[in-house]
Chains A and B, each alone.
Chain A
Amino acid sequence: KAGVTQTPRYLIKTRGQQVTLSCSPISGHRSVSWYQQTPGQGLQFLFEYFSETQRNKGNFPGRFSGRQFSNSRSEMNVSTLELGDSALYLCASSFNAGGPTTEAFFGQGTRLTVV
């Protein structure tokens, strides 16, 4: 069974540009969450999608957005990039959305560098 796939693995962008990251969850998983990992702030929740609906959003500015498609694949977009957006962006998928045994399986992440 294939794991969570994130593309691309690495990205270098310039300040002011926008970027789109992609996540393909494990087959059959309907919940996809996004996290930002930085040395200073650690792992922070961005948002969660379930059945194409955003169910929860973390404390990030509106420049961060996402969506989920009918096949559960998800994309996140960051507009007007800032240097502080440089981070590892992790996607996690889970099957049993909201259940007590919900396990999140993470992809390898996309390393975004803003210069």
Chain B
Amino acid sequence: GNSVTQMEGPVTLSEEAFLTINCTYTATGYPSLFWYVQYPGEGLQLLLKATKADDKGSNKGFEATYRKETTSFHLEKGSVQVSDSAVYFCALLLRSGGYNKLIFGAGTRLAVHP
């Protein structure tokens, strides 16, 4: 079946540290891939996306590359800030018969300390 697997959290880092959150997927066809971020008490915000193999999505210093050969979409940031503390969700978009359906990973909580 279609699924997304993320590394378990929480991930605890000091400010300015390098961040990697691993994400791998299983899907039929060629899904689009997304990273969403959820701040406390809020809904989900789209962080970045990639629609085909080798695409690199980037936003606010975060990057992720769509790797078809390893079915991965790992999130990276070179220097995290306290304000990056949130829960990060990797997701794939299934499109079939005209409908959209996002399948999410379990989420990875990131805590950044000063």
Contacts and interface: CB of A to CB of B under 8 A. Distances in A.
B60 interface: no
B41 to A, nearest CB: 8
Nearest to B36: A106
A106 B45 contact: yes
B: interface residue count bin? 20 to 34
Interface stretch (B7-15, B20-28, B68-76, B100-108): B100-108
A24 interface: no
Interface stretch (A12-20, A40-48, A69-77, A78-86): A40-48
A25 interface: no
A103 B34 CA distance: 9
B52 interface: yes
Interface string A26-58: 000001010100000011010010100001101
B114 interface: no
Contact of A106 (B44, B103, B106): B44
A106 B43 contact: yes
B43 A107 contact: yes
6 contacts: A33-B102, A42-B107, A48-B99, A55-B98, A97-B98, A108-B42
Given A94-B100, A97-B98, 4 more contacts: A42-B106, A50-B98, A55-B99, A103-B34
Interface of A: 4, 6, 31, 33, 35, 42-43, 45, 48, 50, 55-56, 58, 90, 92, 94, 97-109
